[in-house]
Amino acid sequence: MRIKPFRGIRPPRELAAQVSSRPYDVLSSEEARREAEGNPMSLYHIIKPEINFSPGTDEHDERVYPCAAEQFKLFREKGWLVQDKTEKYYVYAQSIPDSHPLAINGKGRTQYGLVVAAWVDDYMQGRIKKHELTRRDKEDDRMRHVRVNNANIEPVFFAYPHRSDLDAIIARVVSGEPEYDFTSELDGFRHTLWVIDDAATIATITRIVAAIPAMYIADGHHRSAAAARVCEELKMQNAKCKMQNEGGTPEYEYFLAVCFPDNQLYVMDYNRVVRDLNGMTPEEFLQKLSENFIVEDKGTSIYRPEALHTFALYLGKHWYKLTAKPGTYTDDPIGVLDVTVSSNLILDKLLGIKDLRSDKRIDFVGGIRGLQALQDRVDSGEMAMALALYPVTMQQIINIADSGQIMPPKTTWFEPKLRSGLVIHELV
């Protein structure tokens, strides 16, 4: 893998919490408008620039993209974003406190990511591996945003096979004074960032990462694809770059990424809610389910799947445990996934939902919202049933990416999400 340090554009220490934000794709325009209210320094003015217009303005309005560039320029003029004078790496830690609802058995955790400029060619040649399909319209949107700002404003989330030598360097770095250290009032996650500016350490990191055979996109498939397309476009235009590394490779051939060791990451469940039972009564639906699942009534208390090939169904004020019978799944990387089992044997076979991307009868709920959110949507009458899945593992994601296959839609949900605006990568 080829990476390089870069001259990050980032907030002064005292402004990091005010400037940084959640990623553009985890909230609506109106949610961004509310979160940015009264805060002209919020990165939402750049990554959700429609909030600078009247409510209801479409996020793809032709005025929106130039506005993003104007805001990016304004932030730099105001000193809310400042570029480092020399090329650096950064370590970004995300922490879930012990008291946080996502702490497992009251024990929080921290994951340490290396902030780098990743080489586009590694993506093009399949050394940066993906496990999801992308939509052209979403690629186009992110491509326009990168192009108009001439920068990767938001990073891609990578995972890599953990290495003890890289762990040791990062441990040494984080034993020092951080550049940023704050806890988001909105979600309770702690965000800490250290700057690596020692030339010897930078060279060692670059050499170690060069020996890593592959990295895996955990989150940010559209940002990766957009970065690659902008790079190819600029190559064709034979664009001139002011800033080049020693090898002479233009800066636009790199894009912003935060790389985490796979053994520190936790994948959350990604659940389903369905509007109707395809003409069946609840009793008929449960009877049909029993052909491929062992169905157990767990009563009115929330039930969470405890192992692979177990599911939680909420229907008619009751929770049910569904255990897939032997022979209903295979051992190949895709067939073993619970999202595959549930899609084939429940959503498609029984409910007639064949395209998860387009069918309006189904919706998806990230694990961050909890199983109570599923129950609430059914109890409200909006949905007829909810299905909770056991989360996939990082190893399953790696197996699928290594096999060259693509995961079914809405399979993975990572938390915490990367905070945007802590470091920005300029393409010139």
The DSSP-derived string for 218-278 is EE-HHHHHHHHHHHHHHHHTT---S-B-TT--BGGGEEEEEEEEGGG--EEPEEEEES--T
Give me the domains of the chain, ranges plus CATH numbers.
3-266+415-426 (no CATH), 270-390 (3.30.1760)
User: In the structure encoding, which two tokens stand for residue 327, read together?
Assistant: 């022979």
d(CA 428, CA 414): 31
pLDDT tens digits for 245-255? 445 689 999 99
For 402, other C-beta atoms within 10 Å of its C-beta total 14
Q: What is the DSSP string of 56-72?
A: T--TT-TTHHHHHHHHH
d(CA 215, CA 212): 8
Percent of the chain with pLDDT over 90: 79
pLDDT in 10s for each residue of the chain, 428 residues: 999 999 999 999 999 999 999 999 888 999 999 999 999 999 999 999 999 999 999 999 999 999 999 999 999 999 999 999 999 999 999 999 988 887 777 888 999 999 999 999 999 999 999 988 888 888 999 999 999 999 999 999 999 999 999 999 999 999 999 999 999 988 899 999 999 999 999 999 999 999 999 999 999 999 999 999 999 999 888 645 444 444 568 999 999 999 999 999 988 889 999 999 999 999 999 999 999 999 999 999 999 999 999 999 999 999 999 999 999 998 888 889 999 999 999 999 999 999 887 889 999 998 888 899 999 999 999 999 999 999 998 999 999 999 888 888 788 888 899 999 999 999 98
pLDDT tens digits for 162-202? 999 999 999 999 999 999 999 998 889 999 999 999 999 99
